[in-house]
Amino acid sequence: MAYTLEGSTGTWEIVCGLEVHAQVISRSKLFSGASAAYGAEPNSQVSFVDAAFPGMLPVPNAECVAQAVRTGLGLNAQINLWSRFDRKNYFYADLPQGYQISQFEHPIVGTGVVEVTLADGSVKQIGVTRLHLEQDAGKSLHDQDPTRSFIDLNRSGVALMEIVSEPDIRSPEEAGAYLTKLRQILRYLGTCDGNMDEGSMRADVNVSVRKAGEGFRTRCEVKNVNSIRFVMMAVEAEAKRQIALWEDGGEVVQETRLFDPTRNETRSMRSKEDAHDYRYFPDPDLLPLVLDPDWVAQLKATLPELPDAKTARFMRDYGLSPYDARILVMEQASADFYERLATGRDAKQAANWMMGDFYAGLNRTGRSIETSPISADGLGELLDLIADSTINGRIAKEVLEAMIDTGERASVIVDQKGLRQVTDTGAIDAAVDKVLAANADKVAQYKAGAEKLFGFFVGQVMKAMAGKGNPALVNEALKAKLS
C-alpha cells in the first residue's frame, strides 16, 4: 500500500532523497596525519594542514580512500577508477582554509542501490546516486562563554563520505528503513561506526510533495538531522507544511531548513545555495585520484559477508523465517552470537531463546549483546540442559534470569538451587496421587466429560513438585491414573 497524505484538495505523495554524511573510520584524517579519534581535548588533534597554515600541502590518506571504495562495493555501486578533488569555497569561522576539499564533478563512487524491507514484508530498492570523499569542518562552540565563541579544530580535516540517494523514498518509513539499512551496511563493512549521537552519521533530508501522476515539485532540504527517528519525523512534518502551503495557494521555495524535534516542525534557515555559489574548481594541490583495478579487486575479495547475504544464508542453513533472520543479522555481534549458539543445536529453538528470554533479560538490565554477562557458549549450555532433560523449559526461564543477574553458569545455578528435573516415576506417581485425592470433586467432573480440567491437574502436580517435574512424564502419569 502506497503511503499518502490527505489534504483539502485531495491525496498527496511524498518525494524524498537523503544526503548522508558518514565519518570514515580511520586513525588519521583525510589529508593529514593528525588523529581522527572522537572526544579528545579541543584543538589537541590539529596539524598545520588542518589549521591551514600557509604553504601546507594535503596528502591523501590511502586508508580513507580504501574505506570509500569498500563502502561503494558494499552498496553494489560503480567504482570510478578516476576521480578528482575539488575546492568548495565558502567562508566560515570553523573553516580555516576558506574552502572544503570535496569531490564535485568526479566522485570516487557512482550509482548503486540499497534494498530495504518494509514492515509489511515488501522489498524496495532505493537508488544511490553517488558517494564522494570530503573533509569535515571544525566546530564552533557558542555555549562556553557569554560573549565569545570558540573554535575546536579537532574535526577539521576528518574524512567524511557523502552518500546521496535518488529521490526514490516515498514515506517516513522508507526514509527510516533506508537509513537503518545504510548504517547497518557501513557498520558491517567497518567503514563508519554509524554513531549518530556522536555526529559520525547525519542526514540532510530533501522533501517535496506532489499529486499522483505529476512530475517532481520544488523541494526543501532539512539540514543535519541526527537520529533516524528525527529523520522520519522531519519527512512527515516538512511534507505536511508543504501541502498546507500549496493548498493555501502559496508556493514552496527551495531553501535550507532546520528540524525542531520538540515542536515537530521545520523552520527556514537560509535560502538554498546553488553549486555556482561555491565556485568549485579542481584542487591544484592534489593530483586526480587514480585507482589500480587490482587493488579494487583485492578490496572486493576481502569484504565481509554483508547483511542481505547473511540473512539469506541464515534462512537457508538454519531454517529461519525472513523476520527472525533479519532480527538476528541486525548487528554483526548478534549474528556471530547466534551462529555460535545454533551450531550443533536445534537452530530454531536457539533463535527463540535468544530473541525471547535472553533479549528480554538484556533489556531488563539495560545491556546489549556486547555487554552481555552471558556468552553464546553460556546460553548454549542452558539449551543443552533442556535438550538432555536435566531441566524443563519452565525452569530454564528461571535459570536464565539468574544467569543474567549473576553471570553464573547454568549448570552451577541448577545444582545450587536444586532445579534438576524429576524423572523418577515413583516420585511423579506419588505427586499425582496426592493431587487427585485432594481434588476428588474435580476428578468426578473430569470423568463426567469436563476434559478441560486436565490442564488444571497438570498445573497442580507441577506445583506440588516445585515446577521440576518432567512435563511429558507428568502428562503420562495423569492420563494413566484418570482413565
468 — phi, psi (to 5°)?
A: -95, 0
CB of 164 to ligand ADP, least distance (A): 5
Q: According to CB under 6 A, which one of 29, 87, 187, 219 is a site residue for ligand ADP?
A: 219
How far, rounded to the nearest angstrom, does the alpha carbon of residue 130 sit from its chain's CA centroid?
22
User: Side chain identity at 53, as an amino acid letter?
Assistant: F
Q: According to CB under 6 A, which one of 32, 80, 184, 206 is a site residue for ligand ADP?
A: 206
Report the site for ligand ADP in 114-133 (rule: CB under 6 A): none
Report the site for ligand ADP in 130-189 (rule: CB under 6 A): 164-167
Quick check: 394 and 357 in contact, CB under 8 A? Answer: no
Q: Which residues contact 363 (CB under 8 A, 6 or more apart)?
A: none
CB of 206 to ligand ADP, least distance (A): 3
Please say which residue, 106 or 481, places its beta carbon nearer to ligand ADP: 106
Please say which residue, 22 or 465, places its beta carbon nearer to ligand ADP: 22
Please say which residue, 19 or 115, places its beta carbon nearer to ligand ADP: 19
CB of 245 to ligand ADP, least distance (A): 15
Nearest-angstrom CA–CA distance, 238 and 259: 9
Which three cell numbers, joined as nine digits, stand for 403?
Answer: 544467569
Which residue's C-beta sits nearest to ligand ADP?
A: 17
Nearest-angstrom CA–CA distance, 210 and 271: 21
Report the site for ligand ADP in 324-343 (rule: CB under 6 A): none
Burial class of residue 239, CB neighbours in 10 A (0-12, 13-18, 19+): buried
Partners of residue 11 on adjacent β-strands? 6
Sole window of 47-55, 205-213, 315-323, 475-483 interacting with ligand ADP (rule: CB under 6 A): 205-213
Q: According to CB under 6 A, which one of 208, 311, 332, 334 is a site residue for ligand ADP?
A: 208
Report the site for ligand ADP in 18-57 (rule: CB under 6 A): 18-19
Nearest-angstrom CA–CA distance, 388 and 292: 57
Quick check: 255 and 273 in contact, CB under 8 A? Answer: no
> Strand (E) positions, 188-254?
201-211, 220-225
For residue 107, state whether it binds ligand ADP (rule: CB under 6 A). Answer: no
Nearest-angstrom CA–CA distance, 200 and 19: 14
CB of 296 to ligand ADP, least distance (A): 25
CB of 71 to ligand ADP, least distance (A): 17
Q: Which residues contact 102 (CB under 8 A, 6 or more apart)?
A: 85, 86, 87, 88, 132, 133, 134, 135, 162
Nearest-angstrom CA–CA distance, 217 and 237: 17
Which three cell numbers, joined as nine digits, stand for 257?
Answer: 531548513
What character string, x for contact with ligand ADP (CB under 6 A) and - otherwise, covers 6-25?
A: ---------xxxxx------
CB of 17 to ligand ADP, least distance (A): 2
DSSP 3-state of 467: coil
* Binding site residues, ligand ADP, CB under 6 A: 15-19, 164-167, 206-208, 216, 219
